[in-house]
């Protein structure tokens, strides 16, 4: 039976960053993922400025800036008038070392992290390995997996469940995932069109009481992601027929964007009953999910990885007792419940559920005031630091 000090279930950004942090701390780690290899996934790709110091500590930030996009501002564009409201991250320059966001697609980040993990011989990354069951006792964890060669078991001291919103780790523990599902369906379309020429920043929001959208530059090749919400009762199979009209409403007359792909998904606000059960801890979407309007799910998940790395490495090395993991579990759960989810939900309601036009207009006017008042904007941007805990 294969053994490891820590097994990490899930090779998404949170799982891989956790594994890298543990590896750098000298922990023996095995990462499991059901996918056959690193592959493009339609997840959040924006890394908030507040994450930059932690990414730099892992030795990733410089390469992320080289292969990704550095975004020094965020933009709201009012669809009805074309007005641009620019939120300049440079207002943070006197206070922080990295006053910018970085866009890196998840599979690109995975390649960067994988290269770093290869420098640590005590790390194993196992693809085509689907976790099916978790059993634990006072001495450790037994993980059962399915592979192309058949069932296998692994023994570890600790298990990190970073295997996404449909986490098998969480289900194996019998943990509830209560919360709510937003009534609208999200559609994220990857298009090729020069949206920068239209005044969109790499991180932008199209704002309108009826036709808001999240707009983000994916890479330097002209690929952008355009995400909007629609009535979930509309047939999903005809999204391709509706997409041209949605894009036409957002783009200038005569624009002919190339639609590369699209994906539809439901959006939730959910929180696991607990982030720790014995020798198993949860992180990222396995522990909590929120809507994508401010990328707080990703930000909170990466902060989970940073916090868990320190706590778990200390426990593994005998430098802290198990209460350190209780502090992690309780603290990170509280951060999501009190900060990440409420802030995300507030933006979601403003952009995509604004039945009250006057309230919508008040929200946009507040953004105008932030753009004109550096102190007010700094206070808004510091929301991200609340997710550090």
Residue pair 236/185 in contact by the 8 Å Cβ criterion? yes
Residue 343's nearest CA partner among 379, 305, 314 is 379
Residue 251's nearest CA partner among 187, 190, 200, 184 is 200
Q: How far apart are CA 212 and CA 184, in angstroms?
A: 13
Task: Report the greatest alpha carbon distance in the chain.
Answer: 67
pLDDT at 197: 87
Q: How far apart are CA 205 and CA 219, in angstroms?
A: 17
Residues forming beta bridges with residue 181, ordered by sequence position: 268
Three-state DSSP class for 18? helix
| Helix, strand, coil share (%) of the chain residues, nearest 5 | 40, 30, 30
Residues forming beta bridges with residue 262, ordered by sequence position: 189
Residue pair 292/248 in contact by the 8 Å Cβ criterion? no
pLDDT at 1: 63
pTM: 0.96
Three-state DSSP class for 202? coil
DSSP secondary structure of 205-235: EEE-TTT-EEEEE-STTSEEEEEEEEETTS-
Domains in the chain and their CATH numbers? 2-71+101-178+269-351 (3.50.50.60)
Three-state DSSP class for 117? helix
Structure tokens, 136: 């634990």
Span between the terminal Cα atoms of the chain, in Å: 38
**127-103-69-71 Cα dihedral, nearest 10 degrees:** -170
Three-state DSSP class for 8? strand
- Please report which residue ranges of the chain form alpha helices under DSSP H: 13-24, 52-57, 61-67, 106-117, 168-172, 239-250, 296-316, 323-335, 341-352, 357-372, 374-381, 383-386
Q: Which residues of 315-349 are buried (b: 16+ CB within 10 A; e: fewer)?
A: bbeeebeeebbeebbeebbebbeebbbebbbebbb
Q: How far apart are CA 272 and CA 285, in angstroms?
A: 10
Q: What is the pLDDT along the chain (389 residues), one digit of tens a residue?
A: 678 999 999 999 999 999 999 999 999 999 999 999 988 776 678 999 999 999 999 999 999 999 999 999 999 999 999 999 999 999 999 999 999 999 999 899 999 999 999 999 999 999 999 999 999 999 999 999 999 999 999 999 999 999 999 999 999 999 999 999 999 999 999 999 999 988 889 999 999 998 999 999 998 888 999 999 999 999 999 999 999 999 988 887 778 899 999 999 999 999 999 999 999 999 999 999 999 999 999 999 999 999 999 999 999 999 999 999 999 999 999 999 999 999 999 999 999 988 788 889 999 999 999 999 999 999 999 999 999 98
For tokens 């023994």, name the residue. 155
Q: How far apart are CA 192 and CA 13, in angstroms?
A: 25
């Amino acid at each position: 039976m294969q053994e490891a000090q820590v097994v990490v279930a899930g090779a998404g950004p949170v799982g891989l960053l956790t594994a890298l942090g543990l590896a750098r701390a000298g922990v023996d780690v095995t990462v499991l993922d059901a996918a056959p290899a690193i592959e493009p996934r339609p997840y959040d790709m924006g890394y908030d400025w507040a994450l930059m110091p932690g990414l730099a500590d892992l030795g990733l930030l410089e390469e992320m800036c080289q292969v990704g996009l550095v975004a020094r501002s965020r933009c709201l564009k009012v669809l009805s008038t074309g007005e641009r409201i620019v939120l300049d991250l440079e207002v943070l320059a006197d206070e922080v070392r990295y006053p910018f966001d970085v866009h890196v697609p998840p599979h690109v980040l995975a390649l960067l992290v994988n290269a770093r993990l290869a420098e640590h011989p005590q790390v194993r990354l196992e693809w085509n390995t689907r976790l099916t069951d978790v059993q634990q006792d006072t001495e450790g964890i037994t993980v059962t997996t399915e592979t192309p060669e058949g069932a296998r078991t692994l023994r570890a001291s600790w298990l990190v469940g970073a295997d996404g919103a449909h986490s098998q780790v969480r289900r194996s523990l019998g943990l509830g995932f209560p919360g709510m599902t937003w009534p609208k369906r999200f559609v994220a379309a990857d298009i090729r069109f020069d949206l920068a020429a239209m005044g969109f920043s790499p991180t932008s929001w199209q704002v309108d009481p009826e036709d808001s959208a999240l707009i983000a530059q994916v890479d330097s090749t002209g690929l952008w992601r355009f995400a909007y919400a629609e009535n979930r009762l509309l047939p999903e199979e005809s999204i391709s027929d509706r997409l041209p009209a949605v894009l036409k409403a957002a783009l200038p007359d005569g624009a002919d964007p190339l639609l590369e792909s699209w994906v539809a998904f439901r959006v939730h606000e959910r929180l696991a009953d607990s982030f720790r059960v014995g020798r198993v801890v949860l992180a990222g979407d396995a522990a909590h999910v929120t809507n994508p309007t401010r990328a707080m799910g990703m930000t909170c998940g990466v902060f989970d990885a940073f916090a868990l790395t320190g706590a778990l490495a200390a426990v593994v090395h005998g430098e802290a007792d198990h209460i350190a993991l209780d502090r992690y579990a309780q603290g990170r759960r509280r951060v999501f419940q009190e900060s990440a989810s409420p802030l995300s939900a507030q933006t979601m309601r403003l952009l995509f559920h604004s039945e009250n036009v006057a309230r919508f207009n008040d929200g946009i006017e507040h953004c105008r005031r932030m753009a004109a008042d550096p102190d007010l904007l700094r206070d808004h941007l510091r929301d991200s630091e609340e997710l550090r805990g």
